[in-house]
Structure 1
Amino acid sequence: MEAFVNGLNGILWSDTVIYILLGVGLLFSLLTRFLQVRHFKEMMKLMFQGKGSDAGVSSFQALSMALSVRVGTGNIAGVATAIFYGGPGAVFWMWLIAFIGASNAFIESTLAQIYKVKQGGEYRGGPAFYIEKGLGWKWFAVLFAFAAILAMAILQPGVQANAIAEGLDNAFGVNRYLTGAFIISLFAFIVFGGTKRIATAATVIVPFMALGYILLSLVIIAVHITELPAVISLIFRSAFALDSAFGGIIGMAISWGVKRGIYSNEAGQGTGAHPAAAAEVTHPAKQGFVQAFSVYIDTLLVCSATAFMILFTGMYNTQAKDGSFIVNRISGVEAGPGYTQAAIDSIIPGFGAGFVAVALFFFAFTTIMALYYIAETNVEYLRRGKNSRWAKLILKFVMIAAVFYGSTNESTLAWALGDVGLGLMVWVNIIAILFLAKPALLALKDYERQQKLGLDPTFDPKALGIKNADYWERESSEQNEQEQVS
């Protein structure tokens, strides 16, 4: 089984695919004239604007839901794994994929808003919806929906649950079966409460957990502040094979930095597009900007916090291609949360294991919640026009089983399966947004035009020549009727 999974990952995550992903991000950055830089202030402003409704959530709630899936085990275990296989240079490539990936996040999230639907009294949208409505490729949309359900409901939850169980076991000796039972009980309580309960939980937990984690990293950086120039230099020299120790693994640095960066920030995977569609906004580009900023929060802040804690304290190992060690400073510690635990313990003895276990719990549990929402959205897509009650009930129990299984089994296979799920979604979604970028680019230009006129931008798809944006066509028509009456 493990050999088959690793072979599949070799195809899904070949060097060619890695460079394609970098190329697509760069292409969208150029086409949007690097909106991730030009509209940075706008991203910050829009995060806290807008209010939820009976059908949708606020921009901040949608951001929190997107961060729930983005900020997970990849921010702790994934960063450590990238450093183990790719050395410190992998951190640079994580930063780069976050920077250019922000444009991917804008495109896919704006598309999700343009082609969203109101179904069952709630806004729903995402790649499956915009592939069918924007491209007319229903078979490809169905393919994505099945890939998303497979990845989100079966393959990915095990990674998150495994990290929680492993962290609690290492820190407090908690039995994995007890951890699994607790996780699925809390998970069931939240997801049986519907989208609003998921959004509310994410809004409360995500900002708290991310801020606390970043603050601790700042304490560690402050203690080792004299090491700052050396660490930054090491990252850049290793990233470009200018360091004699790490020069031989530059390919691994790029590969693992990009792969773990995408695993963490998920720009281009299509996951962030699902909660983006649920937001109540007056123009699709607004939520595109907000979701682009979520990539920065995930990688440039949270992932960097982990990387700096590990590198500043020197608590890491890096493996050479032949299996020997280039760096071997913490023998016997598996690449993952143990690196971060060791880093914190070096500053605050006895605190690291417990803190990382708690951080992993919050990071990973909110991700599991978001995975369910994404899987449910794709079930809703497949069951449009039909009663989806039983399908969603089955989905809940499938995820409960996947979470419990992940809690009680080894992490190696869980991570490999998670990579398969990620790869499947990335392949389908990247192809789709390459063919469907034009409506998102038109929406960006329309937003900028109205912004220059001093208006609060609104959206009329017909005026832009965008077809099948049914929700926005109705909204624009109703708004015009109200203006004529007044």
Structure 2
Amino acid sequence: MDLITGFFGLIEDLTWGWALIPILVVFGVFITVMSGFVQIEYFTRMFRVLSGKNQSGDPNAISAREALLISVGGRVGGGNIAGVAVAITLGGPGAVFWMWAIALVGMATSLVEASLAQLYKRSNGDGTYRGGPASYIIHGLGHRYRWLAVVYAICLMLAFAFGFNAFQGNTFAGAVNDSLGVDRLWSGILLAIITGFIVYGGIRRIAKVADVIIPIMAFIYIGLALIVIVMNITELPGVIWSIIANAFGLEEAVSGGVGAALAQGLRRGLFSNEAGLGSAPNVAATADVRHPISQGITQSFSVFIDTIIICSCTAFIILLSPVYQPGAEGIDGVVLTQQSLVSQVGNWSQYFLTFAILLFAFSSIIYNYYLGETALKVMTGAPAALHVLRLAIVVIVFLGATAPGATAVFFFSDPLMGVLAIVNLMAIMMLFPTALRVLNDFRDQLKSGVDRPVFRPTAFPDLDLDHEAWPYAKANPETVVESRPTGV
């Protein structure tokens, strides 16, 4: 066992410890510059998805908004409540600035990976679609790279469907036990039953649940943060100055100064928004949209929601409270967030935070399950295998919830997430010229006066695309302009 643990520890050191974060940052900056700061160019367009007008009318289809909310539900979790608190504790207020910075860069990376997932998606024949990094590896790089897609799929399933779902089940049961005194067994049974009901409904039921849960979860938490900000509005300028000053070394709240702020901000930001890690594109591919870039813009928006909005809410709740003392030890993680909230609005808020954690955990469970389902379909299409996976997820969630130390065996999750991130980055680096071609097609249509660009796969004959996945091209041929089939 020690040998296995040491092996996965080495993988984590070689990915997260040495190479992955610098690669994610450098590649994010590269995409931002080479795409012409696309996340800024289409920032206002991101908000269109909230109207839900991208739907084709097919009752089976997953709308852009539903796909957005599923991915937000997966991105938003413990990292937004506990992770931000850890970043501030270890890196000082300046860590928040670098979280914002990596989110702005990550928005471009997320746009590219989600657009590629849409570009190479496949139709299921019933109005739904599937795709993701494994799909754009196979159909974008070629079938000779199928082995790489299988490696990606195995890492995705083990890390998210099994490891992180056990963690979320543990978080759920622990929060209920700590705040309400409910035994882990009962909360584990309840969570397993709800999980089973959702996962056996497939992506459509997951989308419908996310469409309800995620807005409630986000708006209540944002509303509570706004109350704290309004109550301390005179102190807000000082907090913002502290964030900027600590980020650039004008002040030093913790030992390590700028280095600690930079390291913690980048690491926690990347863990929180998952930009470039290759998980969210699996959900992005399910959306029924007119153009791949449309969903890329939408997924870029999910990074903005996760880090710029939700993480900032947690940061201001902590930094505006008297509980946080720079450099002090003993209080960190979710306890720091909880006590900061209690100090501002009263003891009732700790129960609200427990409720928020429960919703965050549940939304992550259904998101992680879908990633596992997508990974399984890369390896086998046997219906029996899908039933085994669903049953395994229910059991994993129950075990994670009922055994306080159960998640210790999932030491492989972070290292495997590092491997799948490396695989995904390799793929999008190789396919980046193709992504630019599709982006230019989107821009050309906008310049020609088309308000809602439509993707026509016949304009890209050299690419291995599923023409049945683009019904808009057949329904609206008059809205499509010629696209450059080659070059950037």
Does TM, normalized by the shorter one, top 0.5? yes
State the partner residue of 1:470.
466
Please tell me whether the aligned partners of residues 137 and 148 of structure 2 are also in contact (alpha carbons under 8 angstroms).
Answer: yes
Please tell me whether the aligned partners of residues 20 and 418 of structure 2 are also in contact (alpha carbons under 8 angstroms).
Answer: no
State the partner residue of 1:441.
436
Q: Quick one: which of 308, 326, 344 aligns to 1:300?
A: 308
Q: 1:417 to 1:340 in 2, by over 3 A?
A: farther
Q: Secondary structure at the match of 2:129?
A: strand
Inter-partner Cα distance in structure 2 for 1:120 and 1:473: 9
Please tell me whether the aligned partners of residues 167 and 353 of structure 1 are also in contact (alpha carbons under 8 angstroms).
Answer: no
Q: Secondary structure at the match of 1:313?
A: coil
- Which TM-score applies when normalising by structure 1? 0.90
Inter-partner Cα distance in structure 2 for 1:479 and 1:223: 53
State the partner residue of 2:483.
none
Please tell me whether the aligned partners of residues 273 and 306 of structure 2 are also in contact (alpha carbons under 8 angstroms).
Answer: yes
Inter-partner Cα distance in structure 1 for 2:71 and 2:136: 18
Please tell me whether the aligned partners of residues 276 and 425 of structure 2 are also in contact (alpha carbons under 8 angstroms).
Answer: yes
Please tell me whether the aligned partners of residues 153 and 372 of structure 1 are also in contact (alpha carbons under 8 angstroms).
Answer: yes
Measured against aligned partners, the alpha-carbon deviations of 1:307-328 in whole angstroms (never above 9, x if no partner) come to: 110111143466xxxxxxx224
State the partner residue of 1:129.
135
Q: 1:72 to 1:395 in 2, by over 3 A?
A: same
State the partner residue of 2:27.
24
Q: 1:441 to 1:220 in 2, by over 3 A?
A: same
Q: Give the deviation of 1:27 after TM superposition.
A: 0.6
- Which TM-score applies when normalising by structure 2? 0.90
Inter-partner Cα distance in structure 2 for 1:378 and 1:141: 9
Please tell me whether the aligned partners of residues 290 and 470 of structure 2 are also in contact (alpha carbons under 8 angstroms).
Answer: no
Is 1:281 aligned to residue 281 of structure 2? no
Is 1:172 aligned to residue 180 of structure 2? yes
Q: Secondary structure at the match of 1:156?
A: helix
Give matches, 1:45-194, under 5 Å. 45-48=48-51, 49-51=53-55, 53=58, 55-119=60-124, 121=126, 122-136=128-142, 137-194=145-202
Q: Quick one: which of 363, 366, 379 aligns to 1:382?
A: 379
**Stretch of structure 1 that moved more, 258-267 or 238-247:** 238-247
Matching residue's letter, 2:289:
V
Q: Give the deviation of 1:217 after TM superposition.
A: 0.5
Q: Give the deviation of 1:153 after TM superposition.
A: 1.2
Q: Quick one: which of 30, 37, 42 aligns to 2:40?
A: 37
Please tell me whether the aligned partners of residues 241 and 248 of structure 1 are also in contact (alpha carbons under 8 angstroms).
Answer: no
Inter-partner Cα distance in structure 2 for 1:303 and 1:417: 26
Q: Give the deviation of 1:263 after TM superposition.
A: 1.7
**Stretch of structure 1 that moved more, 83-92 or 466-475:** 466-475
Inter-partner Cα distance in structure 2 for 1:167 and 1:474: 44
**Stretch of structure 1 that moved more, 243-252 or 183-192:** 243-252
Q: Quick one: which of 321, 342, 348 aligns to 2:339?
A: 342
State the partner residue of 1:450.
445
Inter-partner Cα distance in structure 1 for 2:316 and 2:405: 27
Please tell me whether the aligned partners of residues 156 and 421 of structure 1 are also in contact (alpha carbons under 8 angstroms).
Answer: no
State the partner residue of 2:482.
none
Q: Secondary structure at the match of 1:278?
A: coil
Inter-partner Cα distance in structure 2 for 1:147 and 1:231: 40
**Stretch of structure 1 that moved more, 48-57 or 422-431:** 48-57
Q: Give the deviation of 1:54 after TM superposition.
A: 5.0
Inter-partner Cα distance in structure 2 for 1:465 and 1:458: 16
Inter-partner Cα distance in structure 2 for 1:472 and 1:34: 32
Inter-partner Cα distance in structure 1 for 2:478 and 2:258: 60
Give matches, 1:216-227, under 5 Å. 216-227=224-235
Q: Secondary structure at the match of 2:123?
A: strand
**Stretch of structure 1 that moved more, 101-110 or 461-470:** 461-470
Matching residue's letter, 2:466:
D
Inter-partner Cα distance in structure 1 for 2:81 and 2:407: 16
Measured against aligned partners, the alpha-carbon deviations of 1:262-299 in whole angstroms (never above 9, x if no partner) come to: 22111111222112111111111111111111110111
Q: Secondary structure at the match of 2:394?
A: helix
Matching residue's letter, 1:339:
L
Please tell me whether the aligned partners of residues 159 and 414 of structure 1 are also in contact (alpha carbons under 8 angstroms).
Answer: no
Q: 1:200 to 1:477 in 2, by over 3 A?
A: closer
Please tell me whether the aligned partners of residues 322 and 343 of structure 2 are also in contact (alpha carbons under 8 angstroms).
Answer: no
Q: Give the number of aligned pairs.
A: 469
Please tell me whether the aligned partners of residues 317 and 340 of structure 2 are also in contact (alpha carbons under 8 angstroms).
Answer: yes
State the partner residue of 1:403.
397
Inter-partner Cα distance in structure 2 for 1:30 and 1:411: 44
Matching residue's letter, 1:116:
K
Structure 2: tracts of 5 or more residues without a match: 480-488
